[in-house]
Structure 1
Amino acid sequence: MPWEEIGALLGMLAAVLGVLLLAWLFTRYLAGRAPGLGGFLPGRSGKLQLLERMPLGREQALVVVRTGEKILLLGVTASEISLLRELSAEEAAAWDSETQAASPTAGAETPIPFRDALREVLKQRKK
């Protein structure tokens, strides 16, 4: 009799783990397809394109977004989105992966790393 109870308990445990695994897989699937930040993937085509995202804290991030021809540096928190600045053409070229992939030239300037661009923005804001 105890072996039957142990078998039933293991069966129920396996069923619960299976349901949890399926729920996790389903949410991962939905996150890639849903509009908004869950489905906001780098390289996505459309009018709005996320070029880079850098988390700063639990609910804070810096985001570089392309909107048509403009590239914007945004501060994102749980309660608001703030425009920090519009990037110049030179700064925007660092995040313009389409331009870099389409015309790789030997004499081209190296793109500015995100960290360095962020430092420049913070220096300019202090002035």
Structure 2
Amino acid sequence: MQMLDRLPLGQDKAVAIVRLGSHYYFIGIAASQITLLAEIPEDDIDAEGYESSPFPGAEGYLDFKKILKKYTDRHRKDE
């Protein structure tokens, strides 16, 4: 398992993108639990715009904001 990026939301709360094998997941992290929020398709994490990551072993992945925006834009329902 590899944490690709993490966004703190407050004390003891965060969301993160992790890779487990060839699968990518968007998870919520709290002091007492971790919740799977969504699986991110591999094509949402692509070679365009690769940047360095502050996490060892995750170099070359898009930063959290770009991945989240791409995922939410793709899955947003038209109102």
Q: TM-score, normalised by structure 2?
A: 0.63
Residue of structure 1 in register with 2:12 after alignment:
59
Q: Which amino acid aligns with 2:45?
A: A
Deviation at 1:89, TM superposition (A): 2.0
Q: Which runs of 5+ in 1 are unaligned?
A: 1-47, 102-109
Gaps of 5+ in 2: 52-56
Output aligned runs, 1:116-127, within 5 Å: 116-117=69-70, 120=72, 124=76
Report percent identity of matched pairs: 27
Note closer, same or farther for the CA distance 1:75–1:89 as it changes in structure 2 (3 Å cut). same
CA deviations 1:13-63 (Å, max 9, x no partner) are xxxxxxxxxxxxxxxxxxxxxxxxxxxxxxxxxxx1110000011111011
DSSP-derived class of the 1:79 partner: coil
> 3-state SS of the aligned residue for 1:74?
strand
Matches for 1:1-127 after TM superposition, within 5 Å: 48-93=1-46, 113-117=66-70, 120=72, 124=76
The higher-RCO structure (CA 8 Å, 6+ apart) is 2
SS of equivalent to 1:78: coil
Measured on the aligned residues, the alpha-carbon RMSD in Å equals 3.5
| Counterpart code for 2:11 | R
Structure number having the greater strand percentage: 2
- TM-superposed CA distance for 1:115, in Å, is 4.9
The runs of at least 4 aligned residues of structure 1 exceeding 4 Å deviation read: none
User: What displacement does 1:73 show?
Assistant: 0.5
Instruction: Give the structure with higher Rg (CA).
Output: 1
Stretch deviating more after TM superposition (85-94 or 57-66): 85-94
Matched-pair contact (CA < 8 Å) for 2:44–2:67: no
> Aligned partners of 2:46 and 2:69: how far apart in 1?
14
Contact 2:45 2:67 in 1 (8 A): no
